[in-house]
């Protein structure tokens, strides 16, 4: 056994040895070599592929860069080409406006239309009265229809109308559809939620179906311009409901998201394009105008037209309008239409039929309006109270005036247990905005906290509550905001929080006192009684203004707090704003010559001059910068602010002062520390408040108070001019350019003047906060000649800035919207 075992072991070791030696056989070695060769090849291949990939990526980056540069160049030239093509001769174009004739044939062959044809003038009037008191203007305005069949919709469209339970035309639809179908240009003004979208969509489909089919390289037949991305998207979806069954294609192009997909849609061909004006110009200019074109456009819609003009889209709109054949049909719709917009409308519409349903800029009677006077710190509780009442009944929208505030309120609501809440504002990525809107429409999000981006057009089926957490600052915004509820015949509730007047008296909010009057007007025009306290607040404000010799007028002017005309200063500011818009537009069109520009700019700078005895305070220009002295001043300012805040917080506890006064105390203390004076405990006296008020009044009246005059008379021998130039209302880019260290230093040196940038920028329609001044330049000069030289140079710099701004507008895109 022992021997056997040893033998077995030997045998095993021999066989192992054999195996080993076999593995070293030439064949195995060949195999092994082959494997390792393959491995090496694989590795090389892998490396090569990696290199290839990297090379490809590099190449792609380079290509992209080149393409971007080319596109930039092409965009520029394409825009200029667009400009030049204004005088394009459309006569040789193969299209004819066959639509009107086609409609006539339907109208005469359809038996039900006989009923309309037989209606006498008196019957038509009675029927219009029945339809929310429709009033019409224009020659031969078609009679209103009663049923869908009377406007010749085909069976497919009828099925869609049935599917979405649009049983019969709404008032605006009844009058606008036959008017548009007769081929006329139309202005349609009707309340929020009254079905204006369908009023221009249905005739549009009929119009398109009557045109020859699109061919390779053809652009759209209908273009719908909307002021916001959200509205463009919503209209696109509404149009798609019908387009799909009719075999038509709709493309939607708006900013904030990638352009490539939108370009691809347009290149594939679309009969209808829904767009925001800036992005439309971008796509028209892209790829040397090869993406799409306006040659086949015969139907143009301006939805919420007043808002588009107000947003400064006029140049873009005019560019689109001027590049469409002149015999196009243009229709314009909105719930509000301030009078000063009419002139702009006249530029784009040809002898329009004007349809007004139930009054201009009126809140829909299905909205129950409420106004609550409450202080800032009470607002959140009030909101929670309202959500407690309405949350279970439907969705709510809360309007605020600042993006951060929207985020903040969302946080607060989440903390209190409301989870389906989201913010919506311009600071949010467009994809997130789109998905929030989609979720809000489906009810996944029940409370949307938004800025005014959501005020226009947003249609959410079961939206029951609108809360104006911050009071809107113009009448039209109020009408559109509260119009998010009470739509399509459903009931809705709107609450507006207005700050009490003692706050507005001392703070910067006194636009709310004016808005109190506008809100009362909104109640009254909708046939409701305004709240007593709100009315009383406005009456007190009117009296206060009357005592100062000012008249408060409601309505008329429309946007940005210009709903009132209560003093010359405001009228001038308004005129300035218009001048500015004209100036930018004029420069863009290349129409103004240099002298004209000089004159216009000159007239826009408000100046205050006085002769001062003594030595000028500054021999050198001052502006914000990073010199050592600036930094030191900055440090002192920070320290002062800290100290002031500490003091004012003590003050608050001691005197229980309301917030705006506390702010004034902070500022006063800070100013004292900056001036290097001792910080005495701040006394908030009636006299101080009166003085502050007087200062604000002086500011409005363009009057420099006596306290600004020098008190030291030691240097009698000196005499110099001090002049203030108000540059607050110039567009942002122009302001930056003038206030830059470089510009200020240059002007000071050239004209031998002392020049400093003072005050802060105050947005349009707002008042400067207590202790603050509007942005202005302070010039100190030994002679009028120096002042004149300085002004000439500043105007030259301004012109340069304006030119840059207009060049940007010509390039189109979202950046091109100028802020005035």
Ligand X SMILES: Nc1ncnc2c1ncn2[C@@H]1O[C@H](COP(=O)(O)OP(=O)(O)OP(=O)(O)O)[C@@H](O)[C@H]1O
| ∠ CA 568-570-573, rounded to 5° | 110
Please state, in angstroms and rounded to a whole number, the distance separating the CA atoms of residues 527 and 396: 24
Distance from C-alpha of 427 to C-alpha of 670, rounded to nearest angstrom: 32
Angle between helices 784-811 and 732-739 (to 10 degrees): 140
Q: Nearest 5 degrees, angle CA 205-CA 206-CA 210?
A: 115
Closest to ligand X by CB, 173 vs 262, is: 173
Residue 395 C-beta: closest distance to ligand X, Å: 13
In degrees, rounded to 5, the angle at the alpha carbon of residue 622 between the alpha carbons of residues 749 and 739 is 85
- Nearest distance, CB of residue 730 and ligand X, angstroms: 33
- Which candidate, 242, 29, 48, places its Cα nearest to that of 153? 242
Shorter beta-carbon distance to ligand X: residue 341 or 581: 341
Number of H helices, E strands in the chain: 29, 18
Both tokens assigned to 564: 């009132």
Q: Quick one: 335 or 597, whose CB is closer to ligand X?
A: 335
Cβ proximity to ligand X, 308 vs 797, nearer residue: 308
Distance in Å, CB of 484 to ligand X, minimum: 7
Q: Determine what percent of the chain falls in helix, strand and coil, rounding each to the nearest 5.
A: 55, 10, 35
The torsion defined by the Cα of 301, 303, 308 and 310, in degrees rounded to 10, comes to 120
Q: Which CB, 367 or 372, lies closer to ligand X?
A: 367
CB nearer to ligand X: give 341 or 778: 341
CB of 463 to ligand X, least distance (A): 10
Determine the Cα–Cα distance for residues 42 and 54; give it in Å rounded to an integer.
18
The one-character DSSP state at 508 is S
Can you give the binding site for ligand X, defined by CB under 6 A? 166, 169-170, 173, 190, 192-198, 335, 457, 459, 483, 487-488
Which among 613, 611, 610 is positioned nearest to 713, based on CA atoms?
Answer: 613
Distance of closest approach, residue 127 Cβ to ligand X, in angstroms:
16
CB of 810 to ligand X, least distance (A): 31
CB of 661 to ligand X, least distance (A): 40
Give the nearest distance from C-beta 646 to ligand X in angstroms. 49
Closer to ligand X by Cβ: residue 334 or 496: 334
Return the SS3 of 462.
coil
Shortest gap between Cβ of 172 and ligand X (angstroms)?
7
Which lies closer to ligand X via its Cβ, residue 487 or residue 696?
Answer: 487
Integer Cα distance of 482 and 519 in angstroms: 11
Cβ contact 644:665 at 8 Å: yes
Nearest-angstrom CA–CA distance, 317 and 729 = 24
Query: Under DSSP, is residue 777 helix (H, G, I), strand (E, B) or coil?
Result: strand
Contact 169, 177 (CB under 8 A): yes
Closer residue to ligand X, CB minimum distance, 198 or 534: 198
Of the two residues 170 and 623, which places its CB atom closer to ligand X in the complex?
170
Pick between residue 289 and residue 486 the one whose CB is nearest to ligand X: 486
- The CB-of-198 to ligand X minimum distance in angstroms stands at 4
Cβ-contact 200, 331 below 8 angstroms: yes
Q: What's the rounded Cα separation, in Å, for the pair 330 and 179?
A: 12
Helix, strand or coil for residue 139?
coil
What dihedral angle (degrees, nearest 10) is formed by the CA atoms of 707, 709, 715, 718?
180
Task: Tell me how far, at minimum, the Cβ of 459 lies from ligand X, in Å.
Answer: 4
Cβ 552 to ligand X, closest distance in Å? 28
Comparison of 364 and 503: residue with beta carbon closer to ligand X: 364
Half-sphere exposure of 52 (CA within 13 A, CB side): 6
**How far is 673 from 644, CA to CA, in rounded Å?**
8
User: Please, which residue, 453 or 781, has the CB nearer to ligand X?
Assistant: 453
Query: Are 217 and 294 spatial neighbours (Cβ–Cβ below 8 Å)?
Result: no
Smallest distance from the beta carbon of 188 to ligand X, in angstroms? 9
Radius of gyration of the chain (CA): 34
| Integer angstrom CA distances of residue 270 from 79, 154, 273, 332, 562 | 22, 21, 7, 22, 41
- The pair of three-digit structure tokens given for residue 86, joined into one six-digit string: 């204004």
198 vs 209, beta carbon nearer ligand X:
198
Q: Cα angle at 637 between 633 and 642, to 5 degrees? A: 150
* Spatial distance between the Cα atoms of 553 and 449, rounded to a whole number of angstroms: 32
Tokens 């369908």 locate to 198
CA–CA gap between residue 612 and residue 607 (Å, rounded): 16
Q: Which is nearer to ligand X, 175 or 623 (CB)?
A: 175
Whose Cβ is closer to ligand X: residue 170's or residue 452's? 170
For residues 454 and 463, what is the distance between their CA atoms, to the nearest angstrom?
A: 13
CB of 489 to ligand X, least distance (A): 7
Give me the least distance between CB of 471 and ligand X, in Å please.
Answer: 20
> CB 244 → ligand X: shortest distance, Å?
16
Token pair of 183 as six digits: 């081929």
Query: Whose Cβ is closer to ligand X: residue 111's or residue 167's?
Result: 167
Q: Which is nearer to ligand X, 101 or 158 (CB)?
A: 158
Say if CB 790 and CB 585 are below 8 A apart: no
In which element (H, E) is residue 464 found?
A: strand 463-468
Computed from CA positions of residues 348, 351, 356, 360, in that sequence, does the dihedral angle turn out positive or negative?
positive
Residue 756 Cβ vs ligand X, minimum distance, rounded to whole Å? 48
Closest alpha carbon to 310 in 203, 411, 444, 455: 455
Minimum CB–partner distance for residue 483 and ligand X (Å): 5
Burial class (CB in 10 A: 0-12, 13-18, 19+), 757: buried
């Amino acid at each position: 056994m022992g021997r056997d075992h040893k033998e077995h072991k030997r045998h095993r070791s021999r066989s192992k040895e054999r195996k080993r030696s076999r593995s070293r056989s030439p064949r195995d070695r060949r195999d092994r070599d082959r494997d390792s060769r393959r491995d090496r090849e694989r590795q090389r291949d892998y490396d090569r592929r990696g290199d290839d990939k990297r090379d490809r990526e590099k190449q792609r980056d380079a290509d992209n860069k080149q393409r971007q540069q080319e596109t930039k160049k092409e965009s520029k030239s394409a825009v200029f080409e667009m400009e030049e093509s204004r005088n394009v001769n459309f006569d040789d174009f193969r299209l004819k406006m066959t639509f009107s004739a086609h409609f006539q044939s339907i109208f005469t062959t359809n038996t039900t239309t006989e009923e309309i044809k037989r209606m006498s003038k008196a019957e038509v009037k009675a029927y219009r009265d029945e339809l929310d008191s429709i009033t019409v203007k224009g020659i031969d305005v078609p009679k209103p229809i009663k049923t869908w069949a009377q406007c010749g919709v085909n069976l497919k469209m009828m099925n869609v109308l049935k599917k979405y339970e649009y049983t019969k035309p709404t008032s605006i639809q009844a009058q606008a559809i036959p008017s548009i179908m007769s081929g006329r240009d139309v202005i349609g003004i009707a309340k929020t939620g009254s079905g204006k979208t369908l009023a221009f969509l249905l005739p549009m489909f009929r119009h398109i179906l009557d045109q020859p089919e699109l061919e390779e390289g053809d652009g759209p037949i209908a273009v719908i311009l909307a002021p916001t991305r959200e509205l463009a998207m919503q209209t696109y979806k509404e149009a798609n409901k019908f387009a799909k069954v009719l075999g038509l294609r709709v493309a939607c192009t708006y900013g904030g998201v990638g352009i490539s997909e939108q370009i691809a849609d347009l290149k594939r061909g679309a009969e209808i394009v829904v767009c925001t004006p800036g992005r439309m110009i971008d796509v028209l200019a892209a790829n040397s105008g090869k993406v799409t074109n306006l040659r086949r456009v015969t139907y143009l819609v301006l939805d919420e037209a007043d808002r588009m003009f107000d947003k400064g889209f006029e140049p873009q709109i005019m560019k689109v309008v001027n590049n469409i054949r002149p015999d196009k049909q243009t229709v314009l719709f909105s719930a509000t239409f301030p009078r000063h917009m009419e002139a702009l409308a006249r530029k784009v519409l040809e002898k329009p039929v004007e349809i007004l349903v139930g009054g201009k800029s009126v809140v829909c009677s299905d909205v129950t309006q409420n106004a609550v006077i409450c202080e800032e710190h009470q607002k959140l509780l009030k909101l929670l109270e309202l959500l407690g009442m309405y949350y279970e009944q439907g969705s709510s929208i809360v309007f605020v005036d600042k993006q951060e505030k929207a985020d903040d309120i969302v946080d607060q609501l989440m903390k209190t247990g409301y989870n389906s809440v989201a913010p919506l504002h311009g600071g949010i990525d467009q994809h997130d905005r789109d998905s929030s809107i989609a979720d809000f429409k489906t009810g996944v999000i029940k409370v949307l906290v938004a800025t005014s981006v959501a005020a226009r057009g947003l249609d959410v089926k079961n939206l029951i509550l609108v809360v104006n957490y911050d009071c809107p600052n113009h009448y039209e915004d109020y009408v559109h905001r509260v119009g998010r509820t009470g739509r399509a015949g459903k009931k809705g509730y709107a609450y507006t929080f207005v700050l009490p007047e003692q706050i507005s008296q001392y703070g910067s909010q006194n636009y709310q006192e004016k808005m109190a009057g506008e809100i009362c007007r909104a109640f009254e025009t909708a046939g409701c009684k305004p709240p007593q306290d709100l009315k009383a607040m406005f009456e007190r404000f009117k009296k206060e203004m009357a005592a100062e010799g000012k008249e408060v007028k409601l309505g008329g002017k429309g946007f940005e707090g210009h709903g009132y005309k209560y003093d010359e200063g405001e009228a001038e500011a308004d005129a300035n704003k218009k001048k500015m818009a004209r100036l930018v537009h004029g420069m863009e069109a290349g129409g103004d010559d240099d002298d004209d520009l000089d004159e216009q700019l000159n007239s826009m700078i408000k100046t205050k001059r006085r002769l001062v005895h003594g030595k000028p305070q500054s021999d050198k220009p001052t502006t914000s910068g990073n010199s050592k002295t600036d930094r030191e001043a900055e440090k002192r300012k920070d320290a002062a602010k800290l100290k002031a805040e500490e003091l004012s917080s003590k003050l608050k506890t001691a005197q229980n002062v309301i917030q705006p006064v506390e702010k004034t105390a902070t500022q006063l203390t800070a100013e004292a520390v900056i001036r290097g004076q001792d910080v005495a405990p701040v006394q908030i006296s009636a006299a101080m408040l009166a003085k502050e008020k007087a200062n604000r009044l002086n500011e409005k009246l363009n009057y420099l108070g006596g306290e600004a005059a020098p008190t030291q008379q030691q240097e009698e021998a000196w005499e110099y001019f001090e002049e203030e130039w108000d540059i607050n209302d110039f567009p942002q880019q122009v302001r930056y350019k003038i206030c830059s260290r470089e510009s200020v230093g240059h002007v000071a040196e050239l004209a031998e003047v002392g020049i400093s940038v003072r005050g802060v920028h105050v947005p349009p329609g707002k008042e400067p906060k207590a202790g603050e001044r509007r942005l202005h330049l302070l010039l100190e000069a030994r002679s009028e000649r120096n002042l004149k030289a300085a002004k000439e140079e500043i105007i030259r710099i301004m012109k340069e800035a304006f030119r840059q701004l207009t060049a940007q507008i010509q390039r189109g895109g979202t950046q091109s919207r100028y802020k005035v």
